[in-house]
Structure 1
Amino acid sequence: MKNKLNIFLILLLTLNFSCNDSLEEVNIDPNTFPSAGDAQVLSAAIGFMGYIVETDLNYSESFVWSQYYTWGIGVSIGNEERYVSNAADFNGYWQRAYANSLADLNYISKNSTSAAYRGIANVLKAYLFQGLVDHFGDIPFTEAVSGAIEDGSILTPNYDSAETVIYPDLITMLDNAIADLDVAETGLVGDDDFIYEGNLTKWTKFANSLKLRILMRTSEVSPQSSAVQTLIANGIFIESVSDMPFIPFSGATGDQNPMFARAEFGVGMFYFASNATLNVLQDLNDPRDEVFYTLATTGDFEGNLHGIDQGTVDDEDFTNPSSHYSLASTYAYGDSKPVILMSPWEVWFLRAEAAARYGTADDEATAFETAVTSNFSYLGLDGSSYVGTLGYSTSNPLDTKLDLIGVQKWISLNGTQEDEGWIEARRFDRPASRIFTDGIWQTPPLSVLPAGEFPSAWLYPESERSLNPNAPAQRTITDNIFWDN
């Protein structure tokens, strides 16, 4: 199954000769397909998603903007660390999301006669579209990937409102996916599905969990209490690692984790542990610090964790070897590390927050404890005693509970979902409690933004603004996405 991840399907053009049927039959290669089937297109879409999630998202600006890492010895301090963004920086994500994965998934959702393939395609489409919104805001949606003649030949799609059109339509898309999955025949989808190998029940859990994420994302600006209460009462969700949607990699040449392969193709992993994160972990006596990061093996801090304040590598002795510092561990960076699309700890944090905000059927304290301990368990640790030190109680004020959830969620996404960690830190940094922008995150000394200001959006790609006259005016990286506050 894993070897297929590296075979991106080439769709063959059929030749339309004006000749008789017998000659046409002679010229058909029996070893190739004139067009791709659902299985091949799904495999290609998921293969591209692995790169999109792990390299375009987790390993780009989010690696630093989440303040899990900072630039290290051996490289000149980069634009990301100084919060300098160029529109061209985001061309790759946009292109791969739309022209590769979404184009393939859209083909399945519109043309497949299989409810199973349609359901899976729509879950992944919702996942990708939400990611685009959460980075850019308004994007092409209703007219997106409609360049084919049969789709209207729309090469310059209009942009839709993220708030009033796209987010609500993603809920509908997921509802349609769940409806298809409920009636789909099992056994039709197999190892071409690199994520669940055709287990439709798990796809339904993923769909409901993603629906919960979308509904909770707007909690500060547009509470969806009724919809969330109904979903929690009736849905099935990702609850354990066995339910977790991920794209596997063997670590063999040609089948390596995309972040690892991309970094090793260049200068290697040059990021060091950020003290913004280490300070929080050590203040909490959190044992996950030595799983997220390596110990220094030489120098004054040998045998201990040693990070760098965000953006201050220029203050370090340039002759220091990287072994003086804490680097990304094999948990966070490795050739066989899976690409996790959504984790059980993320979902349990969503359920804890939903219970705290909206009084759902879940017990909020239990959901919070499960979120923390499930992350510990995945790291090979026992979190039962640690979670008791955090002081989460149903009697706490709501803001106190949300702060605890926000910080612990940000910690737990380290090493597996760095981009989601940046996104959720923005959301939990609320007017009632600026726990990140006025507490945890550090202002890099060379930042081009004023002290205490941090990026909250990506620029529209240069390629899109050059080719699409319907693209909106360029934003700044401190603009808020509609759900931000």
Structure 2
Amino acid sequence: MKNKSIILVVLCTLLTFFVGCDRDFEEVNLNPNDPTEVPADLLLGNLLFSTANALYSVQASIDQGSGWAQHMAKVQYNDEMRYIPREGTILGAWNNFYVITASDGRKMADLAIEQDNTAIQGVALVMQAYGFLMLTDLFGDIPFTEALSAEAGNTLAAYDDQEVVYAGSIAFLDQAISLLSSSTDEISSSQDLIFSGDKSSWIKFASSLKFRALMRESGVIDVSAQLQQLVDAGNLFSSRDEEAKFPYLEADPNANPLFETVDFGGRGEYKINQVLVEYMDGTNAITDARLAVYAELNDDDEYRGKPSGLLDLPSDEFGYTNVSSIGAKYLAPTAPGYFVSYTELQFLLAEAAKKGFISGGDAAAETYYLAGIRSSLAENGVEDSFDTYVAQGTVAYTTNAAIEKIALQKWIALYGQGMETWIEWRRTGIPELTPAIASTLGSIPVRFTYPNLESSLNGTNYDAAVSSQGPDALTTPVWWDNN
């Protein structure tokens, strides 16, 4: 009896213990290191870093962007410079801007809505717009309305005309500006790696990006009223201190991708292009102090570029030591990654004023033009050459050649920003460039072809896009390209 009593007491004690432990079990046993809901702004740091890396990926930005815009060249392994891009590079650009920039931006926006943070929602919309605009500028017609809907069961997204993508992306920016302007919520300064949580800076980024997008489509639709509204609102970048750029760090893997590939990775075949050198060394009646920053002296103590697209390299004529390497400033690990620069914005404003899209006419156009030049010279540490530089006849603002001079100076100033240089060159056609020497394409590429996976996995929608836009070729212009 005594043993039975002991057993009964033990059983009752255990029963009481288990019943007690079961109370609030889910709350007590939550793992603080494995949260079920991530704060929306924790996605922002990686989103910014990965987007900057996609922009500055050497294979896409330099081999194709700067190479096709004839800012840079290679003395070996130069198939891309001859307009034979790698499928992996094209797929990488497609995936990066969809999976990281647009998709993570969408996830961050959805989380921000759930967590009632309108400031983070605004930031997320800016980044979504940035991703979609880059995709459509690179490829043309792309999935937009049905994009990023795989979780909802749609893995075969239809393509939208580029005009639709632009309208939707600009609507994102308008919504972002509205949310950020009225929000009392916070943006994590530790996660916001470009503006440290400052909402007004994000408004200026969104406004300046919208101005660029509107100028991109200004050749095919009337955007004057929208451009003037942006100027009147006073929320465009007003100095280089306000521009949107990613601050890379000193050491791999957080350094600028150009440094990581060329310097840290020992890829010395990347050089400056002969065409750019000749627009800066006096050959084309322009002497430019930035050349000593853009490039290094070769073994003969000269600044010497290489033409695009030669075969049989390296050679005695164009080798590793007799062609100028990329300048140390642009190979620095901490060289920033620009999303939208103040310098570029000034040239866009100058063009808009000259064309009558915004008020001010030639007087405003010249002011913006000179501000763009001064900004670029200052950025490269040669601002003291400003007066001498703009006094040159081929640089000085003139009403009859203003559009050509604005576009040329923007092309020179965008050095190092490979994708943006090539995209803007496609829009303006200035300067006039000759296709690579050893290329059978016949012209400089004006878009990326779609990744091969699209035709095999999303064939019906891919075929519809090709039927609408034109052949899936490097030579098929996108909607806004009317050159």
TM-score (norm 2): 0.86
User: Aligned residue for 2:30?
Assistant: 28
Identity rate, percent: 29
> What does 1:394-409 align with in structure 2 at a 5 Å threshold?
396-397=399-400, 400-409=401-410
Aligned residues of 1:274 and 1:308 also touching (Cα < 8 A): yes
Describe the SS at the equivalent of 2:480: coil
User: Aligned residue for 1:140?
Assistant: 143
User: Aligned residue for 1:239?
Assistant: 238
Describe the SS at the equivalent of 1:340: strand
- Among 441, 444, 455, the alignment partner of 2:436 is 444
- Detail structure 1 runs of 4+ shifted over 6 Å in the superposition: 392-395
- Cα shift at 1:110: 2.7
Paired letter, 1:476 = A
User: Aligned residue for 1:346?
Assistant: 344
> What does 1:285-324 align with in structure 2 at a 5 Å threshold?
285-296=287-298, 298=299, 302-312=300-310, 314=312, 317-318=315-316, 322-324=320-322
Tell me how far apart the structure 1 counterparts of residues 314 and 87 of structure 2 sit (CA, whole Å). Answer: 31
- Cα shift at 1:22: 5.2
| Deviation digits for residues 405-424 of structure 1 (CA, Å, limit 9, x no counterpart) | 11100000002x12111111
1:325 aligns with 2:315: no
Aligned residues of 1:310 and 1:442 also touching (Cα < 8 A): no
Tell me how far apart the structure 1 counterparts of residues 29 and 261 of structure 2 sit (CA, whole Å). Answer: 40
> What does 1:179-194 align with in structure 2 at a 5 Å threshold?
179-185=178-184, 187-194=186-193
Aligned residues of 1:239 and 1:347 also touching (Cα < 8 A): no
Paired letter, 2:177 = I
Tell me how far apart the structure 2 counterparts of residues 321 and 219 of structure 1 sit (CA, whole Å). Answer: 42
- Cα shift at 1:41: 1.2
Residues 264/291 of structure 1: CA separation in 2 closer, same or farther (3 Å cut) = closer
Describe the SS at the equivalent of 2:399: coil
Tell me how far apart the structure 2 counterparts of residues 329 and 162 of structure 1 sit (CA, whole Å). Answer: 36
Paired letter, 1:481 = V
Tell me how far apart the structure 2 counterparts of residues 252 and 85 of structure 1 sit (CA, whole Å). Answer: 29
| Deviation digits for residues 145-186 of structure 1 (CA, Å, limit 9, x no counterpart) | 1122xxx222111111112x1111222111100000101126
Residues 381/313 of structure 1: CA separation in 2 closer, same or farther (3 Å cut) = farther
- Cα shift at 1:318: 5.0
- Cα shift at 1:226: 2.0
Tell me how far apart the structure 1 counterparts of residues 23 and 371 of structure 2 sit (CA, whole Å). Answer: 65
| Deviation digits for residues 24-81 of structure 1 (CA, Å, limit 9, x no counterpart) | 4565322332332212111221121121111064234112111111111xx34x3212
User: Aligned residue for 2:377?
Assistant: 376
Describe the SS at the equivalent of 1:483: coil
User: Aligned residue for 1:254?
Assistant: 253
Larger Rg: 2
Tell me how far apart the structure 2 counterparts of residues 186 and 22 of structure 1 sit (CA, whole Å). Answer: 32
User: Aligned residue for 1:196?
Assistant: 195
| Deviation digits for residues 230-267 of structure 1 (CA, Å, limit 9, x no counterpart) | 22222311121210111111212332112322445755
Residues 266/340 of structure 1: CA separation in 2 closer, same or farther (3 Å cut) = same
Aligned residues of 2:109 and 2:125 also touching (Cα < 8 A): yes
- Cα shift at 1:360: 2.0
Tell me how far apart the structure 2 counterparts of residues 269 and 341 of structure 1 sit (CA, whole Å). Answer: 26
Paired letter, 2:39 = G
Q: Structure 2: 5+ residue runs without aligned partners? A: 1-20
User: Aligned residue for 2:12?
Assistant: none
Paired letter, 1:365 = E
> What does 1:158-237 align with in structure 2 at a 5 Å threshold?
158-163=158-163, 165-185=164-184, 187-237=186-236
Residues 230/390 of structure 1: CA separation in 2 closer, same or farther (3 Å cut) = farther
Q: Which moved more, 1:266-275 or 1:334-343?
A: 266-275
Describe the SS at the equivalent of 1:477: coil
Describe the SS at the equivalent of 1:389: coil
Describe the SS at the equivalent of 2:73: strand
Describe the SS at the equivalent of 1:175: helix
- Cα shift at 1:358: 1.5
Tell me how far apart the structure 1 counterparts of residues 332 and 23 of structure 2 sit (CA, whole Å). Answer: 53
User: Aligned residue for 2:481?
Assistant: 484
Residues 385/21 of structure 1: CA separation in 2 closer, same or farther (3 Å cut) = farther
- Among 130, 134, 154, the alignment partner of 2:133 is 130
- Cα shift at 1:101: 2.4
> What does 1:354-373 align with in structure 2 at a 5 Å threshold?
354-358=352-356, 360-362=358-360, 363-373=364-374
Residues 381/186 of structure 1: CA separation in 2 closer, same or farther (3 Å cut) = farther
Paired letter, 2:95 = Q
| Deviation digits for residues 296-328 of structure 1 (CA, Å, limit 9, x no counterpart) | 1x2xxx222011122236376359762322111
Paired letter, 2:259 = F
1:334 aligns with 2:352: no
1:465 aligns with 2:455: yes
Residues 253/227 of structure 1: CA separation in 2 closer, same or farther (3 Å cut) = closer
User: Aligned residue for 1:3?
Assistant: none
Paired letter, 1:61 = Q
Tell me how far apart the structure 2 counterparts of residues 157 and 267 of structure 1 sit (CA, whole Å). Answer: 41
Paired letter, 2:481 = D
Paired letter, 1:44 = N
| Deviation digits for residues 362-398 of structure 1 (CA, Å, limit 9, x no counterpart) | 511100000111010011112233123256777623x
Paired letter, 1:115 = T
Between Structure 1 and Structure 2, the one with more helix by share is 2
Tell me how far apart the structure 1 counterparts of residues 118 and 387 of structure 2 sit (CA, whole Å). Answer: 42
Describe the SS at the equivalent of 1:272: strand
Residues 261/316 of structure 1: CA separation in 2 closer, same or farther (3 Å cut) = closer
Describe the SS at the equivalent of 1:144: coil
Tell me how far apart the structure 1 counterparts of residues 397 and 55 of structure 2 sit (CA, whole Å). Answer: 35
- Cα shift at 1:446: 1.1
Describe the SS at the equivalent of 1:341: strand
Tell me how far apart the structure 2 counterparts of residues 89 and 276 of structure 1 sit (CA, whole Å). Answer: 25
User: Aligned residue for 1:82?
Assistant: 82
User: Aligned residue for 2:428?
Assistant: 428
Tell me how far apart the structure 2 counterparts of residues 156 and 360 of structure 1 sit (CA, whole Å). Answer: 41
Describe the SS at the equivalent of 1:84: coil
Describe the SS at the equivalent of 1:261: helix
TM-score (norm 1): 0.86
